Amino acid sequence: MSTEPMVAVQPTQRMSLGADVVIIGLGAGGGMVFHDLVGAGFDVIGLELGRHFTTQDMTAQEDVMMPQLFSEGGGRATDDFGISVLQGKGVGGSTLHNTNLCKRLPEELLDDWVVRFGLTDLAGKGLQDDFEAVEKLLNVHPVPDEQLNRNNVLVAQGIKALGYQGGRLSHNRGHLCRQSGFCELGCPNDGKENAERTLIRPAIAKSGRVYSEARVEKILMHRGEAVGVSGVCVDPRTGATIGEFKVQAKHVVLAGSATGSAALVKKSDVPDPYRLAGTNLHLHPGAIVAGVFAEPVEAWLGIPQAIECTQFLEFGPTAKNRAWIVSGFAHPGAAAGFMPGFGAEHAKLMREYRNTAVLITMLHDHTSGVVSPGEREQIHISYRLDKSDYDQLALGMRESARILLAAGAQRVFVPTRPARWVTRAADLDAITGSVLGPLNPSLTAVHPMSTLWMGDNRRKSVVNPEGMHHHVKNLWVADGSLFPTSIGGPPQIPIYTFARRVARAIAAAQ
Amino acid sequence: MNLLKHLAADGFRQVQAVGLLQGGRLAARVLNERYPATGDLLPWQIRTLESLQTVICATEDDELPSPEECGALEATLSFLRGMPRPTVDRMSALLALFEAAPLALGPVRVRLSALDTAQRNSFLETWPDSRLAQQRAAFHAIKTMCMMGYWTRPSTWGPIGYDIKSNPGVPDRLKEPA
């Protein structure tokens, strides 16, 4: 057993390892495969680019934690800088910084995948049983009434006043959660039932081997089969190379996210006769809308993101409305970046930070983009919303503002260019897709997906319905890359669940 | 649009076409400055960052500290030092471009750090809502960085009502930020 980071290896030393299975990336997907296969008696090595944090490492300081917990130090973005793409880094991946949102995939979406992508196995009870088992493992439960903070209470009031569909979200929090409100910076209380705590730690205690600060550079193949990986040991802060490693394994599992896994496939020249890998990227981008209230909201206190509005969220190729609205918040450093303007006027707005409630509208996007590898951990992301998605974004922003006004906001900030302050619902009609465009508004995406997607057709998908690559035997995908379309909601429960199914398929193939 | 503005707009498109990093190198050459090694910033770029931050994080509020008073520049640099080299390199290029931008955009055709505060404020005013997406993107990136350095200083929290000490969920060990 070893939990030491690869930086412990002397830079001049070349580490060579062997295992039944090597997993690249230890977030939700990689963590689940690691957990299940170690539990099944396999010899498993997990490789992770970021650090293996302890609870003591979580300092609740934005400027300290952001560069450590996020890929590219939080600076990852689409090539035109229009969308900030925040993805986790570290043993536990994005589950270290997420706000614990747990939702299953809706039936309409699964029906679409069955029809269009031949994923017939998803129609049965098996997937629902898997969802249930994962939820039990992760201690998923609705946020109780007494734990709703003021931001969430106001949003719930607005949704109710308008008669919209929506309600309480479920989270995976454990008994150590003290409602600090610092979920996004890594829980300082070990209160999350995240991948690191729930899956990886117990698997390490059995026999699993984890190497952090290890960047995989290449998938090794021989005669049409994956046989291992090679890469470099890195300084987690600067990304500087300080050693090399190679892992030989019977199975290689890609779980480095929809951006990282696809970039690695392209960098490794994995056979791709139909040039699909890295395309079909969906980002589920979101825009914030903020309402200023007469009374203090203190959105940073307590559990964030406990209420959703689903009134404008439909699924499937003919969906008319595709905006998911969820309560949000940010600590001052990040919040200041979202508020309009600069200088003294901006500082005046920050004076109202305490009285500000926030909603995020996330787009169940039909737009697709392309991922390609950059230097070191850098990923190039080409993605621009199409007209119909701008219309949906405008819908989501309008309705977010309407909810905040219905909840009693004195005025609502809508991040168009130029910024709008709305005081009456009647003024919202002017916010249409035609007034939006690149960087108007600035968007943030935390749920990239779909770049190595499942399907039964080798010409139209990258991996088979069980998660194995169509053209390379024993190369598996177990992260958000698997989803054939945007899923329109938080991906962690679907990723955990599909990774469990991939683990099962690997065990069966052994 | 006058010819100079047209040229400037074209310049932004050119920067995107040749890539941000090459654009930064080109700007350094125009300024007759050395360009830093990967993952590094040079003193002239740090002065640019400071010139930007003193305007972007300026306040007329007596209760809020100035960026200088609260150590915002040092915090921003520390934040940047925590980032991987390619991310620092992009910021380095952006700082070079900002330093050179007044030479192309005016109205006073000197490098950014040679402008006085009022001139810098006036120069930056059009960036957030610029017609050019690249210009808005550049400003957004710099603003985000500057704000992170300023608003993470504990001395800015009292006036906006943010408080960690009274948050019962925060462990005691974190209630006195280093």
Looking at the complex, does the CB of residue A241 fall below 8 Å from at least one CB of chain B?
no
Yes or no: say if B124 and A277 are a contact pair by the CB < 8 Å rule.
no
- What is the b/e burial string over A360-386, where b = at least 16 CB atoms within 10 angstroms of the residue's CB? bbbbbbbbbbbbbbbebbbbebebbbe
Question: Which chain B positions have a beta carbon within 8 Å of A67's beta carbon?
Answer: 79, 82-83
| pLDDT for residue B131 is more than 90 | no
Rounded mean pLDDT of A222-241? 88
Cα separation of A432 and A429, whole Å? 7
* CA distance linking residue A333 with residue A347, whole number of Å: 12
Q: Is A188 on the interface with B (CB under 8 A)?
A: yes
User: CB B55 to CB A378 under 8 A?
Assistant: no
CB contacts, 8 Å: A183 with chain B: none
Instruction: Please answer whether residues A373 and A262 qualify as being in contact, where contact means their C-beta atoms are separated by less than 8 angstroms.
Output: no
Band of residue B82 on the pLDDT scale cut at 50, 70, 90? confident
Nearest by CB to residue A63, choosing from B56, B121, B152, is: B152
| pLDDT winner (highest mean) among A139-143, B10-14, B162-166 | A139-143
- CA A259 – CA A265 distance, rounded (Å): 10
Structure tokens at A110: 């699964």
Structure tokens at B109: 């055709």
3-state helix, strand, coil in chain B (%, to 5): 65, 0, 35
Q: Which stretch of A2-6, A259-263, B148-152 has the lowest confidence by average pLDDT?
A: A2-6
B146 vs B12, residue with greater confidence: B146
Question: Which three-class secondary structure state does DSSP give residue A372?
Answer: strand
What is the tens place of the pLDDT at every residue in A132-168? 999 999 999 999 999 999 999 999 999 999 999 999 9
Distance CA A200, CA A215 (A): 19
Which of A237, A333, A351 comes nearest B82 by C-beta?
A: A237
Contacts of A443 in chain B (CB under 8 A): none
Question: In one letter, which amino acid is B63?
Answer: E
Instruction: Write the pLDDT tens digit of every residue in B51-74.
Output: 999 999 999 999 999 999 999 999
Best CA proximity match to A153, nearest among A350, A408, A481: A408
* Residue A347 near chain B (CB below 8 Å): yes
**Which of B82, B84, B134 has the CB atom closest to A377's CB atom?**
B84
Of A197, A192, A199, nearest to A176 (Cα)? Answer: A192
Mean pLDDT highest for which of A107-111, A237-241, A315-319?
A107-111
Following DSSP, what letter does each residue of A436-448 receive, concatenated? Answer: -BTTBS-EEE---
Give chain B positions within 8 Å (CB) of A176. Answer: none
Q: What's the alpha-carbon Rg for chain B, to the nearest Å?
A: 18
Residue in A64, A81, A417 closest to B129 by CB: A417
**What torsion do the CA atoms of A451, A454, A457, A460 make, to the nearest 10 degrees?**
-20
| CB nearest to A59's CB, from B75, B144, B174 | B174
Residue B1: pLDDT band (50, 70, 90) is: very low
Chain B interface disruption, residue of A342, A346, A375, A385, most B CBs within 10 A: A342
Q: How many CA atoms within 13 Å lie on the side-chain side of A211? A: 28
User: Using N-to-C axis directions, what is the helix angle for B72-81 and A62-69, rounded to 10°?
Assistant: 20
pTM for the whole structure: 0.94
- Identify the helix (H) or strand (E) that includes residue A493: helix A492-509
Please state which of the ranges A245-254, A263-272, B107-116 shows the lowest mean pLDDT.
B107-116
User: Is pLDDT at A3 greater than 60 in this prediction?
Assistant: no
Q: What is the pLDDT of residue B11?
A: 53
Inter-chain residue contact B58 with A344, CB threshold 8 Å: yes
Min Cα–Cα distance to chain B from A135, Å: 25
**Cα–Cα distance for residue pair A102/A110, rounded to 1 Å:** 17
CA dihedral A110→A113→A119→A121, nearest 10 degrees, is 10
Task: Give pLDDT, residue A241.
Answer: 85
Interface contact flag, B16 A80, Cβ < 8 Å: yes
Does position A380 have pLDDT exceeding 60, yes or no?
A: yes
Nearest CB partner across the interface for A341, out of B82, B83, B128: B128
Average pLDDT, chain B: 89
User: Does A349 score more than 60 pLDDT?
Assistant: yes
The pLDDT mean for chain A works out to 95
What whole-number distance in Å separates Cα of residue B54 and Cα of residue A185?
27
Summarize pLDDT for A26-52 with one digit per residue, the tens: 999 999 999 999 999 999 999 999 999
| CB spacing of A66 vs B84 below 8 angstroms | no
Chain B residues closer than 8 Å to A334 by CB: 148
Mean pLDDT, to the nearest integer, of A284-312? 97
How far is B11 from chain A, CA to nearest CA, in Å?
Answer: 15
pLDDT at B7: 45
Is the peptide bond preceding residue A236 cis, with omega within 30 degrees of 0? no
Token pair in block for residue A256 = 């480095």
Mutate to test the interface with B, among A51, A59, A63 (most CBs of B within 10 A): A63
Q: What whole-number distance in Å separates Cα of residue A322 and Cα of residue A448? A: 16
Q: Which of A439, A440, A443, A444 to mutate to test the interface with B (most CBs of B within 10 A)?
A: A439
Residues 32-71, chain A, touching B (beta carbon < 8 A): 59-64, 66-68
The neighbour count for residue A505, using CB atoms within 10 Å, is 18
Q: In one letter, which amino acid is A127? A: L
List all residues of chain A from 90 to 129 with a beta carbon under 8 Å from chain B.
none
- Checking ipTM against 0.90, whether it exceeds it is yes
Hey, which residues 402-421 in chain A have their CB within 8 Å of chain B?
417-418
Minimal Cβ distance to A342: which of B56, B83, B174? B56
Would you give the distance in Å from CA A438 to the centre of its chain? 22
